[in-house]
């Protein structure tokens, strides 16, 4: 059976690359679009992943632009000014700066500010933060005050300590304090995209400094729906881990008064590629209504035999005294690109307000 799903990397296709190169050639007629496209789509194109394709386009472009970096960037900036929408393909502009321009921040930073309005420069700015931290935090503060929400988002998203797919910022993992004033200035941004980026940054911080993340968010509480939504998104990792401070901040009792009368998984065995049905009941034993976050975790068997635990969101609900809720969830055992499925004993854990209250096992067969 063939897999016909569209992959992100396939969005960087020949029409998109041809369009990008055509914009460049309009500024610099010495660029031959056909020659560039032929060089881009070489024998290794199909095996390259998304970021590898972007990097390859940037490297090929470098060979067709002026040798002087500043002149080359000027060409790209003039071309980018004419671009409407090229999707991920436009990230080749940003990547060009990341690869070839770290030694020249005076030229590169204004270019990244422009390019981020086409597609985010969040990956490309990170080597600059690493090399020039003081200068870049001054720049991030300027960007945070921009009239363009995409530039403001670059300030918060580009400075995330643990940006997925991006270079890690070890200094900010160790000491995220320089981020606090930046995030403070953006937390009430009129753009929901920027607010969500602030939450992403705080979620990164919470992985290394959980109590600090909770303290920052505690100081921001103002009763608004916007702050509540930001806090919930920022604390998502800590909530899954059952961090008591994070739970309490969002109104969840870290010691819920509930029991699990039953938890079953059927069938008790299934082959790789199959599925099982989880069914369980949560009963309130308290004498007051309780806000409950009911989740479940699957401990997947892995190659090492140690098990890999993944928490799946279930339901947030309020239960009155003696009330109960019954839940059913399907657990798929289909291998994914992000998770292999191995044979062996798997465990499902029922988690209420971060506390594991019951378990059930099932067997995955080859």
Q: What is the largest CA-CA distance in the chain?
A: 79
Instruction: Return all residues near 231 (Cβ < 8 A) that are at least 6 apart.
Output: 199, 217, 220, 221, 249, 250
Residue 5 pLDDT greater than 80, yes or no = no
With b meaning 16 or more CB within 10 Å and e meaning fewer, what string describes 335-345? Answer: eeeeeebbeee
4 confidence band (pLDDT: 50, 70, 90): low
By CB atoms closer than 10 A (0-12, 13-18, 19+), residue 129 is: buried
Rounded-to-integer distance, Cα 210 and Cα 82, Å: 44
- Ordered by where they begin, the domains of the chain are 1-124 (no CATH), 147-251 (1.25.40.290), 258-365 (2.60.40.10)
- DSSP percent split of the chain into helix, strand, coil, nearest 5: 45, 20, 35
Specify whether the CB–CB gap between 198 and 183 falls below 8 A.
Answer: yes
Task: Quote the percentage of the chain above a pLDDT of 90.
Answer: 90
6 confidence band (pLDDT: 50, 70, 90): low
By CB atoms closer than 10 A (0-12, 13-18, 19+), residue 359 is: middle
Residue 306 pLDDT greater than 90, yes or no = no
Kindly state the average pLDDT of the residues 269-286: 96
Predicted pLDDT of residue 255: 93
Residue 35 pLDDT greater than 80, yes or no = yes
**Each residue's pLDDT tens digit, 15-24:** 999 999 999 9
Task: Quote the percentage of the chain above a pLDDT of 70.
Answer: 98
181 confidence band (pLDDT: 50, 70, 90): very high
Kindly state the average pLDDT of the residues 264-273: 96
Kindly state the average pLDDT of the residues 143-165: 97
Predicted pLDDT of residue 129: 98
Predicted pLDDT of residue 124: 98
**Each residue's pLDDT tens digit, 56-99:** 999 999 999 999 999 999 999 999 999 988 888 999 999 999 99
Predicted pLDDT of residue 12: 86
Predicted pLDDT of residue 2: 40
Calculate the average pLDDT of the chain. Answer: 94
Specify whether the CB–CB gap between 327 and 293 falls below 8 A.
Answer: no
Kindly state the average pLDDT of the residues 203-210: 98
**Each residue's pLDDT tens digit, 102-114:** 999 999 999 999 9
327 confidence band (pLDDT: 50, 70, 90): very high
Predicted pLDDT of residue 3: 46
Rounded-to-integer distance, Cα 64 and Cα 72, Å: 9
Whose structure tokens read 């403070």?
184
């Amino acid at each position: 059976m063939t897999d016909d799903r569209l992959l992100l990397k396939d969005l960087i296709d020949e029409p998109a690359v041809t369009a990008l190169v055509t914009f460049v050639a309009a500024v610099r007629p010495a660029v031959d679009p056909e020659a560039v496209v032929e060089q881009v789509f070489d024998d290794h194109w199909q095996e390259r992943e998304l970021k590898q394709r972007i990097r390859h386009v940037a490297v090929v472009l470098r060979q067709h632009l002026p040798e002087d970096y500043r002149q080359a960037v000027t060409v790209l900036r003039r071309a980018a000014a004419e671009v409407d929408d090229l999707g991920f393909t436009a990230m080749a502009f940003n990547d060009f700066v990341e690869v070839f321009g770290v030694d020249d921040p005076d030229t590169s930073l204004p270019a990244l500010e422009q390019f981020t309005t086409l597609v985010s420069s969040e990956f490309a700015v990170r080597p600059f933060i690493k090399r020039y931290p003081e200068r870049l935090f001054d720049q991030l503060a300027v960007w945070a005050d921009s009239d363009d929400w995409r530039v403001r988002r670059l300030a918060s998203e580009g400075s995330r300590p643990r940006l997925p797919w991006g270079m890690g910022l070890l200094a900010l993992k160790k000491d995220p304090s320089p981020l606090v004033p930046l995030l403070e200035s953006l937390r009430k941004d009129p753009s929901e995209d920027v607010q969500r980026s602030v939450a992403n940054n705080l979620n990164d911080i919470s992985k290394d400094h959980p109590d600090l993340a909770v303290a920052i968010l505690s100081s921001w509480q103002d009763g608004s729906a916007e702050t509540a939504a930001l806090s919930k998104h920022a604390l998502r990792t800590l909530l899954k881990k059952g961090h008591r401070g994070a739970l309490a901040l969002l109104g969840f009792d870290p010691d819920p008064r509930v029991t699990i009368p039953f938890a079953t998984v059927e069938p008790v065995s299934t082959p790789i590629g199959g599925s099982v049905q989880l069914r369980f009941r949560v009963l309130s034993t308290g004498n007051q209504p309780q806000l409950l976050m009911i989740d479940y975790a699957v401990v997947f068997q892995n190659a090492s035999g140690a098990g890999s635990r993944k928490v799946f969101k279930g339901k947030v609900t309020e239960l009155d005294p003696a009330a109960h809720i019954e839940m059913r969830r399907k657990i798929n055992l289909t291998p994914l690109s992000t998770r292999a499925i191995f044979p062996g004993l798997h465990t499902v854990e029922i988690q209420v307000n971060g506390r594991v209250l019951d378990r059930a096992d099932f067997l995955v067969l080859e």
